[in-house]
Every structure is written in structure tokens, then in C-alpha cells.
Structure 1
């Protein structure tokens, strides 16, 4: 047996990333027929079909799933080894960085993050995108550079994560609400009219639902798509919103916030990125900026006992 063709690793990495022969051919500047021949060589080398037909598309085999993270790491490491070790001069960097995050994050952390970036790298533009779902495809496809998330079982196994801060749920109302003038019990909390944040409008899909007791039944009279809308309704009505404390610091100004009278576990908000960006010097610097900004203590969260970085 002759030496392995290491170019096949690059082709395999792109094929597993795209799951599409034509798209892989486009990325590698090959013809579709040449890409098909490369896939045949990969199948012969691995002894596995790797990608199989399912309807009009291709799906990875279990062996392909097992290889994906290892192949990506090997390709990235080889690129790092062959890249000149230039010293990063942030003052001369010109590029955009796209951060996808949940509602409220920009209001609470955006100003400090912008100030830090502008002071060190004035040529960098930050694009903040709303997070409509938990799909990690934009990270894999390079459409976004970084996102914030509460890590769940649906997170792609190849993605990199690092904790940013701890958060917890609190209740929020207008200062004119009766709850703002009374001792809040579980009975008064449940009896109030609630607005929930749910992408489908269903109570079972409310984003705060996983962090509340399973048997808890609130009187929901409205649902919205984000924390900003929930707090805007609560500010100008008789509704109660249940939202993350640190995520919504800027949005809750002038409102009445209170500890929930029910057991509600805290949770960790992390940043997530694709392995292809692991060693990129600008990306590494930006991740450090985000960690620094999110770890700064704020008077609005001074009573949060578990807000240290994990």
C-alpha cells in the first residue's frame, strides 16, 4: 500500500460539512464529476459509503459522523502548521464579525463590547443578529462567526463552547402592578396574568419552561417572540414576564423585578463557534473580548450568587 493521499482529508472535511457533492465541488473549485470521483476514492479508502442517498439529498453514515470532528480538527491543524506566524496587529485588521444572540443580550452587553472592540480594533465591524431558533447550520456554514446559547442536547457535537456567565429567571412587572406593592407568594404569582416568550405561541415551547417546575401552571394571556417584546407588554400593562436576569438588564430599567417564588435552577450562557475558527487570531481575540465583557459585575446583578464563570 502506498502513502495516503492527504488531499483526501480536505475533500472529506468539505463533503462532511456540506453533505452535498455539488456544493463541495464549488468550495474546492472542482467539477462535480471530479468531486464524485473523489468521493468514490474516499469510499474505497475508508471501506464505508460515507454519504448515502435519502430522497433527493445525501445523509452521512455512522462512520461519517464518527469521522467528522476528527477530520475537521486534522485539517485545521495542518492549515495552522503551514500558516506564517504573523504577529496580529489589531489596529490594521479590517473585517466583520457576526454574533448571533438572544433578545436582550445586545442591550445588556453590546455597548461595553463595542467600546472594547473600537478601542483595540477600530477596523472591525460587529454585526448582531437575532436568534430565531437553535439551528447550528449558520455556524457550520460560516454565515455567522459566534453565537451565545444555553447548551442543550441538540447542539452539534463538533462545535466548540465556553461558558460566559451564569443567569437565572426572575419575574418582572410594571411598577404600578399590584405585585410590586405586596409580598409575592406562589399563589399571587400564579394568579397573575402572564406573557410568555414562545416561538410557536404554545406554553410547552416557552423558552423559560425548562427552568420552571414541571407541574407549574401559569395563567398565560399573551405570547411573544422575544424578551424585549415581553417586557414592553409588561411595562405598559398588567402582565408579568418571566425572563433571564442578566440577559435583560438593559431592557428592565424602570420596572419592578422580583425573585420567583418557585424553585428555578440557574443556567449557564455559553459562546459557541465552529472548529474552523478555533485558531483564527482575530476570532480568538474577539472571544477573549466577549468573555471579559460578560464577566464584568454589574450593580443590577450584584445579588446573583452564582454568576461566576464556570
Structure 2
């Protein structure tokens, strides 16, 4: 594993002032975890957060892709109170990275691997929120706060490994090309003319409800991506207590049951993505068991195997649009 540290020295926040911290995360290898430590001289009674004047409320906000704005709604304040009530200033799993929290003396935020994606992230600190007039700022100066911050990133050295301990494998689906004649129930009539079809298949075995993760490099010209589950001839198990096989897909990041762009039970319906975004599309496949056998499955070390098949329908070079009937051109900057 590799470690990267960002340090923000002591910074003052005058009344009604704000400050932004910008962090840029490069593409994979994957990140195992991220922690954000904030130290300030704020003394805030969290039990009375709802009654605290908004114009004097110091808060910290997170946002990916651009600077955050403080959320001043009553609902947001209720959320702040709920998240902070009984807390010691440590939030182990920051479920929503676009969220505001009341600033405390010592705060630690932690992100799980699925929450850390390449790109630019902003942390905003605000000393007072809500509307105020210039004259009010001059009369009521309020309190001045200071803060410092440490950001620690743990990453995986191997580009094919991910997870909190970098011990889970990510397989490249493009290395698993299969004979097109063996792809069941495909739409052969679409794979003619300017349309190219690529087929993949993989026998996947899951042990004890582990999650299998794969990725596929999607080009700009892909018109449709379809993923099917072939249960009839390739599903082997001595236990029939599987309720579903969930497939989660996410663009440029590892998906799970809470963070994904697409999802389906592929034992019932295929996953069809029309005009997927160019880049890396990650898939996670997870077995779901009936709740009354959940504990027993873990004890018996159950292993389930099944065949999953992928098909991409893309346009030949120079073609684009529905059924690849349009002319495609690349714009160049001179």
C-alpha cells in the first residue's frame, strides 16, 4: 500500500468568512481509504444545534467536482443534529460526500474504497451561514475561528487490486473474449453492416457471499452494453436458497449495493445500458440469500458457480448514432 498526506496549516476564519480546500485525486490504482482530520477552536453545543443562530453556525461541507455551498435549510439542520448527537466528532463512514456538518473542535471523517473516485474534491469551511447584510457584518462581528486539516490517502500499488486492505481482485473483462457463436440469445441481426458486436463470457464462482468485481473499457462508439446470466446450464449448487444474483455497475468507480449507476437481478432481467459513457465501467456481482439461511451459508462455506455473458454493440470507426447510420467526425483544436 502507498500513503499520501495533504496538510493544511492553521487558517483563520473571520465572522461570515469561508475557506476552501481543494484535493485532486489521480486515476487508479485504487484507493483503500481516506481520512480527513479537522482540528479547530470551535466550542459548539451539538445538543442545541437546531436552536443555534444560523448566522453564527460554523459548518464544514463536502462536494466533488466543485466548491460546496452551505445548506441552511431546516431539514439540513435536523440532519446535522441527528448525525452529531452522541458523536465524539468521528464519522467512520461518510455516507454522503455532498453533505454539511457542524464544525467541532476535533473531527475525523473516513471514506470507504467505493466512495473514493478519481477527480477533484472540495472541502468548504464556513463561519456563519444564511443571508446577512453588510451593515450587520460590521455591527455584529461574531467569533473568529481557526482550523487546520490533515488528509491521508491509502492506495493500492497493484492496479488490479482494491479494497480496504488491497486484497480483492478486479478482473479485466476484455481479456475474456468468447466465441460469438456460443453467446446465447444474442441479437445477430444487429451485428451487420457498420455495427460490430463483441462477446465475453465468464464462469464465476462466489464463496460465502463475497462480491466479484470486474471492469470493461468502454470506447466512445459503444451503442449498447448487455449483460446476461445463464443459469440453466451453468449454475451449480447443492443449496437452492439463493434469492437473487445482483449486478451493480458504476462508471469510473467500484460499485456496491448503495453506490451504483445501474443495478438489476440478472437471474430475472439482463442489464442493458444504452450509449454508456466512455471510460471504465466497473461491475460487482453479489449473491443474495434468503435471510433465514444467511448464517448457515457462512458456516458451511458454500460455493456457487454460474455463467455470466457480456455483449457490446458498437459502431465501426467513422460511424455513430442510432444503428450506426450517422457519420462520425473528430473535432481537432488547432
TM over 0.5: no
**Bigger strand fraction:** 2
Larger Rg: 2
TM range (shorter): under 0.3
TM-score, normalisation: structure 1: 0.24
Please state which structure has a larger fraction of its residues in helix. Answer: 1
**What TM-score, normalized to structure 2?**
0.22
